[in-house]
């Protein structure tokens, strides 16, 4: 099979899988009950500062749906790894979520990711980022998100969700999918501003604590 045929096959497969996942998540969400916390604080932060919305990688499946439900008036940019999973997520977002732009960068191209983050913030977009992605370790904040926030003078809002019942996939991050008819607690956490007086490592540890909400 030639390169073009392989690419066409991969693109078609990604498109079909993205369509199925997007439809499935929409149906699940319709059956769930939501308890949303901290939304006013998030809106205040966005209105007055360049803002990064940070969440753990295993919470990604519901992220596009949440921003459409709770903040359809806010423009976002999601920095996504140029991997198979990243292209799948990009297909899902591009299909159904017009207020979210996707920025694909190679997972080892830190400078490109930083440049993309800063450019999106300059355009007054809220940047969605997973500080333990794209390959882990799970629940460990990499220094890049803190460095990027300091460089761009941006504030970081930790984001998470928990549910009364979910499936956990056998992926490195234990990807979470809520079960139908569950109650989902959505939390926009307390705004985090990196401290210029301490190291990137200490700032990353402090952000880790904020993300466990």
Q: How confident is the model at residue 8 (pLDDT cuts 50, 70, 90)?
A: low
Q: How confident is the model at residue 2 (pLDDT cuts 50, 70, 90)?
A: low
DSSP summary character for residue 83 = S
Question: Average pLDDT, stretch 5-13?
Answer: 63
DSSP sequence for 189-208:
---B---TTS-HHHHHHHHH
**Per-residue confidence (pLDDT) for residue 12, from 0 to 100:** 72
Cα 73 to Cα 2, 6, 47, 63, 98, distances in angstroms: 44, 39, 12, 15, 10
CA distance 16 to 88: 10
CA distance 167 to 175: 8
**Per-residue confidence (pLDDT) for residue 52, from 0 to 100:** 98
Question: Average pLDDT, stretch 7-27?
Answer: 74
Return the residue matching tokens 């009950």. Answer: 33
Which of 22-26, 66-70, 196-200 is predicted least confidently?
22-26
**Per-residue confidence (pLDDT) for residue 3, from 0 to 100:** 54
Q: How confident is the model at residue 135 (pLDDT cuts 50, 70, 90)?
A: confident
Which of 30-34, 78-82, 163-167, 181-185 is predicted least confidently?
78-82
Residue 27 has pLDDT above 70, yes or no: yes
Alpha helices in the chain (DSSP H): 3-31, 39-48, 63-70, 84-96, 110-122, 143-152, 200-211
- Tokens (6 digits) for 109: 């191209």
**Per-residue confidence (pLDDT) for residue 83, from 0 to 100:** 77
Question: Average pLDDT, stretch 2-17?
Answer: 64
**H or E element: which one contains 99?**
none
- Tokens (6 digits) for 201: 């490592």
Closest among 163, 160, 213 to 183, alpha carbons compared: 163
CA distance 44 to 65: 21
CB 148 within 8 A of CB 114: yes
CB 145 within 8 A of CB 114: no
CB 89 within 8 A of CB 97: no
Radius of gyration from C-alpha coordinates of the chain:
17
Closest among 27, 102, 38 to 62, alpha carbons compared: 27
- Global confidence as pTM: 0.90
Where is pLDDT greater, at 89 or 167? Answer: 167
Residue 5 has pLDDT above 90, yes or no: no
Q: How confident is the model at residue 194 (pLDDT cuts 50, 70, 90)?
A: very high
59-87: per-residue pLDDT in tens? 988 898 899 999 999 999 998 888 777 77
Which of 107-111, 117-121, 137-141 is predicted least confidently?
107-111
Interhelix angle 200-211/143-152, nearest 10 degrees: 100
Percent of the chain with pLDDT over 90: 63
């Amino acid at each position: 099979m030639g390169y073009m045929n392989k690419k066409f096959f991969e693109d078609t497969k990604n498109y079909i899988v993205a369509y199925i996942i997007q439809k499935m998540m929409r149906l699940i969400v319709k059956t769930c009950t939501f308890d949303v916390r901290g939304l006013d604080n998030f809106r205040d932060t966005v209105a007055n500062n360049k803002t990064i919305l940070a969440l753990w990688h295993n919470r990604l499946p519901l992220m596009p749906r949440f921003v459409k439900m709770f903040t359809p008036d806010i423009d976002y940019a999601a920095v996504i790894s140029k991997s198979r999973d990243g292209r799948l997520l990009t297909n899902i977002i591009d299909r159904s979520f017009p207020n979210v732009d996707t920025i694909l960068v190679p997972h080892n191209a830190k400078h490109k990711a930083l440049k993309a983050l800063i450019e999106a913030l300059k355009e007054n977009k809220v940047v969605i980022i997973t500080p333990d992605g794209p390959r882990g370790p799970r629940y460990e904040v990499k220094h890049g998100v803190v460095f990027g926030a300091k460089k761009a003078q941006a504030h970081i809002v930790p984001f998470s969700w928990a549910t009364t019942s979910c499936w956990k996939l056998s992926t490195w991050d234990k990807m979470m999918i809520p079960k139908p008819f569950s109650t989902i607690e959505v939390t926009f956490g307390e705004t985090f501003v990196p401290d210029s007086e301490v190291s990137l490592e200490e700032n990353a540890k402090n952000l880790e604590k904020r993300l466990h909400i």
